[in-house]
Amino acid sequence: MTERTNDLRLSIVVPVYNEAENIAALYGKIDTVVKASLKLSYEIIFVDDGSDDGTFEILKTLHDKDNHVKVIRFRRNYGQSAALAAGFDISRGDVIVTMDGDLQNDPGDIPVLLQRLEEGFDIVSGWRKCRKDTLITRKIPSHIANFIISTVTGVKLHDYGCTLKAYRRNTVKNIHLYGELHRFIPALASLNGARIVEIPVAHHPRRHGVAKYGISRTLRVLLDLFTVEFLLRFSTRPMQIFGLFGLITGFTGFCIASYLTYLKLFRGAELAGRPLMLLAILLIVVGVQFIAMGLIGELIIRIYYESHDRKIYCIRDFLD
């Protein structure tokens, strides 16, 4: 990469929450790497996610002495997705690198990420191949989650949870993050045909502070996976999923009702109070509701795209 004097090339976004013991050392490492290894205009954006341990005071000191440092301070703890979204919103670089604020990610990997990005990829994702975390509470749940996410989304990555990633700005500018969706950015970007590569990166044991995440977070991530799967497959055609369920349940209810009608008309069977009759009615009603939900979803999708003047496609290149 060569420096452009008028444009900012690199934004480094670092979400932090109660990392007062790590901030100064992390800033020093980032500053050293950027100045020694990269010839780029840059900014370092720290997002204080509602810390109450003096993190903001340290960040303010760094901001006062270095005009490359930008600081966002949340009113309360909103979570890493919100912190990254805020960093993306104010970043001005052509390339955005994200990393954790706990010194477990190594800023020395940033040049390698940028080099792979220059090879034509849109996202370069870090893989903590030699992860320095506890086996039972961190590694095993992470391996299970990564396998499930890769299988469901079709975007094969070993380590969705690694925050150390490099993005082209136009790849993430239209991605909206909620819940724990920040770890699904590669899968969401694949909606627009993003080219993604994963590379091994260094990972260090935590020396100061405590980990903010555990097994409960893995469960929340798996729940968010349902949202991602819907966005990947049916975000522009909700009728195909709701309509399918509606047809299956409605047709099943119709078949049961037809069978009961036959028993009533030709066998003289008494239908009042029969559980099967109640099931038939329930399935038909649910089927109609699913189809109605599909129609409402189709209307909402059309309103969304037309009111925002958005397209249902994304162009990579245009040769006129």
For residues 70 and 122, state if they share a domain. Answer: yes
pLDDT at 5 over 50: no
**Can you give the residue range of the structural domain that contains 153?**
10-234
Q: Of 210, 234, 258, at which residue does a domain stop?
A: 234
Residues 83 and 206 in one domain: yes
Are the C-beta atoms of 234 and 240 separated by less than 8 Å?
Answer: yes
Tell me, what's the pLDDT at 210?
67
Domain end (from 219, 234, 249): 234
Burial class, 226, CB count within 10 angstroms (exposed 0-12 / middle 13-18 / buried 19+): exposed
Q: Has residue 287 been placed in a domain? A: yes
Q: What residue spans of the chain are helical by DSSP H?
A: 23-37, 55-65, 80-90, 110-117, 140-153, 169-172, 185-189, 215-234, 239-262, 275-307
261 assigned to some structural domain? yes
d(CA 214, CA 33): 31
Output the domain CATH number for residue 73. 3.90.550.10
| 317 within some domain | no
Whether 28 and 45 map to the same domain: the answer is yes
Read off the tokens for 315. Answer: 């162009």
In a domain, 1, yes or no: no
pLDDT number for residue 225 = 82
Answer yes or no: do 227 and 244 share one domain.
no
- 261 plus 126 within the same structural domain: no
Q: Which of 234, 266, 292 is the endpoint of a domain? A: 234
Give the chain's mean pLDDT.
86
Q: Which two tokens stand for residue 33?
A: 């790497």
SS3 43: strand
Is this structure's pTM higher than 0.95? no
Q: Is there a domain that residue 182 lies in?
A: yes
pLDDT digits (tens, 9 = 90+) for 153-209: 889 999 998 999 999 998 988 788 877 788 889 998 988 889 999 999 999 888 876
* Residue reference for tokens 């069978």: 259
Q: Are residues 201 and 143 in the same domain?
A: yes
Q: Are residues 184 and 264 in the same domain?
A: no
* Same domain, yes or no: 187 and 94: yes
Please indicate whether residue 85 or residue 173 has the higher confidence score (pLDDT). 85
Q: Whose structure tokens read 């204080």?
A: 48
Q: Rounded to whole angstroms, how far apart are CA atoms 298 and 243?
A: 11
Domain match, 103 and 201 both? yes
Q: CA-CA distance, 268 to 234, in Å (whole number)?
A: 46
Q: Domain check: are 54 and 143 in the same one?
A: yes
Average pLDDT of the segment spanning 122-128: 95
- Is the pLDDT score of 253 beyond 90? yes
The tally of domains found in the chain comes to 2
Of 210, 209, 212, residue with least CA distance to 22: 209
pLDDT given at position 319: 46
Is the CA virtual torsion 98, 103, 106, 107 positive or negative? positive
Q: Out of 35-39, 46-50, 218-222, 260-264, which region has the weakest mean confidence (pLDDT)?
A: 218-222
Inside any domain, residue 291: yes
Instruction: Identify whether 137 is part of a domain.
Output: yes
Higher pLDDT, 39 or 164: 164
Task: Give the phi and the psi of residue 12 in degrees, each rounded to 5.
Answer: -110, 115
Q: Are residues 216 and 264 in the same domain?
A: no
Instruction: Compute the distance between CA of residue 305 and CA of residue 281 in angstroms, rounded to an integer.
Output: 37
Residue 4 domain-assigned (yes or no): no
Q: Are residue 159 and residue 303 in the same domain, yes or no?
A: no
Look at residue 3 and tell me whether its pLDDT is greater than 70: no
Residue 217 pLDDT greater than 70, yes or no: no
Structural contact between residues 204 and 26, judged by C-beta atoms closer than 8 angstroms: no
Mean pLDDT, range 68-87, rounded to an integer: 91
- Map residue 199 onto helix, strand or coil: strand
